[in-house]
Structure 1
Amino acid sequence: MSSRLHDLAVDTLGRRIVAGELGPGTTMLAIDLERELGVSRSVVREAVRVLASLGLVESVKRLGIRVRPTSAWNVFDASVIRWRLASEHKGAQLRSLTELRSAVEPAAAELAARHAPDDDAAELTAIAGRMRAVGRAGRLEEFLELDIRFHGLVLAASGNEMFAQLEGVIGEVLRGRTHYGLMPDHPHEEALQLHLDVADAIGGRRPDAARDAMDRIMRRTVAEVEQVWLAEPRAFPG
C-alpha cells in the first residue's frame, strides 16, 4: 500500500508541476501535501526526494518545498518525458524528442553497421520482419514493443554507451506517439520496408546505407507528426 501511495504522490505532483499547475517558484508545505494527497509524512518526504532528484523541486529551509524552473529539470528522465507528453505541451515535447532522434539515430545506425555483433545484426533483421507482419495486421501494441526493441538495439549496437542510454527516451516517445493516437492504424509500407533496409545495411556492413535508411525513417516520422507541434513555441514555459 505504501509503495502505491508513494507512486501516486510522485505521479500526481510530477504531472501538476510539468503541466504548469504548480509553476516555477511555487512553494508547498509538507503538511498541506499530506492533507491534499491523503498520505503520511513519510510518503510525502519520499515523493519530494524523488522529484528533487529529477530537478523538479527543492527543499528550502524555513520556506518549504519549492518548484524549480524548467531549466533545472532532468529532461531525459522517462517520467518527466511521460508527464510532458500527458500535458498540453505534448507537441513541444514530441518535437524536441523527434529532433533528438533525427540527430542521433542515423549516426547510431551508421556506427552499428561498423561495429554491431553478428548476433545483434541478425536480431535486427528478425525484428524488422516481425514488425512488417504485425504492422500489416494492425496489431499496434505488439508493433510498438517491437519498434522500441528495434530502435533500442540499433542504439546499443552502435557501441556508443551514451547512445545506448537513450533507449528509455526513445521508448517513451514511441509509446507516446502510439498512445496519443499519432500512429496510423497500419504503419505505412515504406516505413516497414525502411526498417528492413536498416537491418539489411547493418548486417551487410554498409554504414552509408544504414545511415541513409534511418534518416529516411526519421524524415517520414517528422512528416507524419509535425502538425502536432507547428503552433508550439521553441522553448518550454518556465
Structure 2
Amino acid sequence: MPSSLHNRVVDSLGRRIAEGELAAGTVMRAESLERELGVSRSVVREAIRVLQSIGLVESVKRVGVRVLPMAEWNVFDPQLIGWRLAGSGQGAQLRSLTELRSAIEPMAAELAASVAPQDISAELMAVAARMRSIGRAGDLDAFLELDIHYHRLVLRASGNEMFAKLDEAIGAVLTGRTELGLMPTHPHEDALQLHVDVADAIQGGHPMRAREAMDLIMRRTIAEVESVWSATPRLYF
C-alpha cells in the first residue's frame, strides 16, 4: 500500500472531521469513500483504522463508519492538533494547548530543579544558549527545532512520565504557532533570557526560581497570542 495514498486519505478525512464538514453522526460507506477519493478498499480500511485510533470514527456493522462527537476524540493526538490548528478550530486549539502548557510547564520546571539528572540539566542549559544565538540570527526553522527540544527536555527532566508524554502535543502547538506566523522573526530578548533563566535555575537546583521563570514564559506567550482566540467560545462537554 503506497504510504502517500494512505496518508492522503487520513489527512483528507481527518481535516474534514476536525473542521466539522463531516459532522458527528455522519455515516460514511467504504465503497463511497473508494469512489470519492479514488483509492482501493485496503487504503480506505487502513485510513479508517488510524482515524479510529484518534477517536474520530467508529465502525458499525451493517451501517458503515460513523463520525464521533468531539467528546470522544483523543485531543492530545498530534495529527488532530495539526488539523485543528489549520482550520476554523484554530483559536480554540491554540487556547487549550497554551492553557495546558501554562498549567503544566511551571510545575515541570520546579520538579526538574529538584530531581533532574546532571546530564539532562546540562543539555538544557546548552540548548537555551543555542536558542539565544539562533533567535538573534533570525533563523525561525532552526529556532523552532531548538524550542521544541528545550521544552521536551524540561518535561523529561521533571521525572514525571505523564508530563513527559505531553511532549508531542506541546511540539505540535509550537510548530503551529510558527507556521501560523505568530512568532516574531527575532524572538524578544526577554523571552530568550527567560529560557536561560529556567535552565540555570534547574541546573543550579532552585525550584521556585525555575517555576517563576517558566511561568513568566507562559504568561508572555499568552499575551502574544491570545488575540487569536479572544472571540472564540469555549467548549464544554
Aligning the two structures, in what range does the TM-score lie when normalised by the shorter sequence?
Answer: over 0.9
SS at match of 1:233: coil
Q: Does 1:90 align with 2:118?
A: no
**Structure 1: 5+ residue runs without aligned partners?**
none
Q: Does 1:219 align with 2:188?
A: no
Quick one: distance in 2 between partners of 1:121 and 1:135? 21
Count of residues paired in the alignment: 237
State the partner residue of 2:13. Answer: 13
1:27-54 C-alpha deviation (Å, 9 max, x unpaired) = 1110010011110001101111110111
1:101-158 C-alpha deviation (Å, 9 max, x unpaired) = 0000000000000010111111111101110011011100100000000000000000
**What's the TM-score, normalizing by structure 1?**
0.98
Alpha-carbon shift at residue 220 of structure 1 (Å)? 0.2
Quick one: distance in 2 between partners of 1:3 and 1:139? 32
Q: Percent identity?
A: 68
| Alignment-mate amino acid for residue 117 of structure 1 | P
**Structure 2: 5+ residue runs without aligned partners?**
none
State the partner residue of 2:229. Answer: 229
Alignment map for 1:51-200 (pairs within 5 Å): 51-200=51-200
Alpha-carbon shift at residue 61 of structure 1 (Å)? 1.5
SS at match of 2:66: strand
- Superposed CA RMSD: 1.0
Alpha-carbon shift at residue 167 of structure 1 (Å)? 0.5
Quick one: distance in 2 between partners of 1:15 and 1:226? 24
1:69-92 C-alpha deviation (Å, 9 max, x unpaired) = 000000011111111101111011
Alpha-carbon shift at residue 234 of structure 1 (Å)? 0.6
Runs of 4+ in 1 over 4 A off after TM superposition: none
State the partner residue of 1:203. Answer: 203
**What's the TM-score, normalizing by structure 2?**
0.98
| Alignment-mate amino acid for residue 16 of structure 1 | R
SS at match of 1:66: strand
SS at match of 1:65: strand
